[in-house]
Amino acid sequence: GLDDEFRVIVSPWILSSLITDRLAAYYETVTKHNLNYRRYYHQFDY
């Protein structure tokens, strides 16, 4: 485990990472688009 003084610092990082991954997986199933692929990569001049 982690020391209590570091747990306060590290816990939000871990939770936000888990939530982001979970939401991305849900978004993939809803949109039926694999987020590993970039649809518009190198399609436009910026």
Q: Which residue has the tokens 């570091």?
A: 6
Task: Provide the 10 A C-beta neighbour count for residue 28.
Answer: 13
Whole-prediction pTM value? 0.62
Q: What is the reported pLDDT for 46? A: 72
pLDDT number for residue 44: 77
- For the segment 16-44, what is each residue's pLDDT rounded down to a tens digit? 999 999 999 999 999 998 888 877 777 77
- Give me the pLDDT at residue 40, please: 75
Give residue 15's pLDDT.
95
pLDDT value at position 29? 95
